[in-house]
Amino acid sequence: MKYLILIHNSPAVIELFGDMSEEERSAAFQVYWDVEADLQASGELVDSSALDTDAQKSVMRGADGAVITDAPRPEVAEVVSGYYLVDVADEARAAEIAARFPEAVVTGGMRIARIWTEADFAENT
């Protein structure tokens, strides 16, 4: 099953990293490379990337076409800052991977979502 592991940046995550010493922050960032290497070795990694949190945009369909604004909008306190797309046995394995990241110690820092297949859509329509 494919799962998308989403890493969220929020005020709590910013505080978490801000409170770390240089050595702690270096060790925290090493986790990303370690997880990446482990997932490549196990064959579970499909794709991963860090996202530019400063250049994200919100897109809405308007009467005259797409309306593009800066994101996150002021009322949104968090933004997706990275992802790992994995192909794993089950939800428990996806959660196990997500729990390794530094952001997992704050509420809402990590999220997982199963990727739906064509069969899932057929079953749920």
- Output the domain CATH number for residue 92: 3.30.70.1060
HEC secondary structure over the chain:
CEEEEEEEECHHHHHHHHCCCHHHHHHHHHHHHHHHHHHHHHCCEEEEEECCCCCCEEEEEECCEEEEEECCCCCCCCEEEEEEEEECCCHHHHHHHHCCCHHHHCCCCEEEEECCCHHHHHHCC
Q: How far apart are CA 10 and CA 79, in angstroms?
A: 7
Count up the domains in the chain and report the number: 1
pTM of the model: 0.84
Which residues form the domain of 6?
2-123
pLDDT (tens digit, 9 = 90+) per residue, 60-105? 888 888 988 877 654 556 788 999 999 999 999 999 999 999 999 9
pLDDT (tens digit, 9 = 90+) per residue, 4-48? 999 998 888 989 999 999 999 999 999 999 999 999 999 999 999
